[in-house]
A and B are shown apart, each in its own frame.
Chain A
Amino acid sequence: GAVVSQHPSWVICKSGTSVKIECRSLDFQATTMFWYRQFPKQSLMLMATSNEGSKATYEQGVEKDKFLINHASLTLSTLTVTSAHPEDSSFYICSARALGTGVRREYYEQYFGPGTRLTVT
């Protein structure tokens, strides 16, 4: 159980175009999803917290107009990289936090997707 998927797993796009990445919780509902980016051989840096039905909360230094986040349902959050540039090339990982304490999972635990490799040429 507790599977999170991401689509696509990798994408190559041209500079100036926009790319949408989907994050889905497959067998549980997630009121909160998180978006991270990871550069090679580095740690995960939290970009934003996505809450179902409300605006995302962005970390300091992350441009909300460039990284659009939509959490339209309890199982889906999307990250759109607008007007992508080569410096946006990175590994983007989402995670989802299970809803409440009524499930058999640790309340605090985040379940991570497999990541999306974005390359902007």
Chain B
Amino acid sequence: SQQGEEDPQALSIQEGENATMNCSYKTSINNLQWYRQNSGRGLVHLILIRSNEKEKHSGRLRVTLDTSKKSSSLLITASRAADTASYFCATGTGANSKLTFGKGITLSVRP
């Protein structure tokens, strides 16, 4: 069953703008990860945040995690057309656990 629920389901922005995507989950987690998938391709790991972390940065990406609200956000700053893809959050409940993926967000960045 899917745990992560992303919103919005689809997002269209202009190149240069920031894109914010949210993910909510239901059960306790050990870590939360964000992935990108280009159409018809495999997944690319973007960033992992552990349950004891509140914020993490990687290049133009900023991820926050609020375990009290069971939610996470992914911010992509200064978006580029190449950021156009589907983005998924996935939760893990332990070091050896499987991941449960959300439904995904389709991001379109207009040049």
Which residues does A use to contact B, with CB under 8 Å?
Answer: 4, 6, 32, 34, 42-46, 49, 91, 93, 95, 106-115, 117
Closest residue of chain A to B4 (Cβ to Cβ) is A43
Does B30 have its Cβ within 8 Å of any Cβ on chain A? yes
Most buried by B among A44, A45, A117: A44
Q: Are A106 and B42 in contact (CB under 8 A)?
A: no
29 contacts between A and B (CB under 8 A): A4-B42, A6-B42, A43-B102, A43-B103, A43-B104, A44-B43, A45-B2, A45-B101, A46-B98, A46-B100, A46-B101, A91-B40, A93-B42, A106-B48, A108-B30, A108-B31, A108-B48, A108-B95, A109-B33, A110-B45, A111-B45, A112-B35, A112-B42, A112-B44, A113-B42, A114-B41, A115-B40, A115-B42, A117-B40
Assembled-state Cα–Cα distance A50/B98 (Å): 11
Does B61 have its Cβ within 8 Å of any Cβ on chain A? no
Known: A46-B99, A46-B100, A107-B95. A112 touches B33 (CB 8 A): no
Q: What A residues does B99 contact at CB under 8 A?
A: 34, 46, 110
Count of chain B residues with a beta carbon within 8 Å of a chain A beta carbon: 23
Q: What A residues does B52 contact at CB under 8 A?
A: none
In the complex, what's the smallest C-beta–C-beta distance from A91 to chain B, in angstroms? 7
In the complex, what's the smallest C-beta–C-beta distance from A119 to chain B, in angstroms? 13
Assembled-state Cα–Cα distance A41/B79 (Å): 22
Q: What B residues does A110 contact at CB under 8 A?
A: 45, 99
Assembled-state Cα–Cα distance A111/B46 (Å): 11
Q: Are B98 and A93 in contact (CB under 8 A)?
A: no
Assembled-state Cα–Cα distance A91/B96 (Å): 25
Closest residue of chain A to B92 (Cβ to Cβ) is A108
Does B88 have its Cβ within 8 Å of any Cβ on chain A? yes
Assembled-state Cα–Cα distance A95/B98 (Å): 10
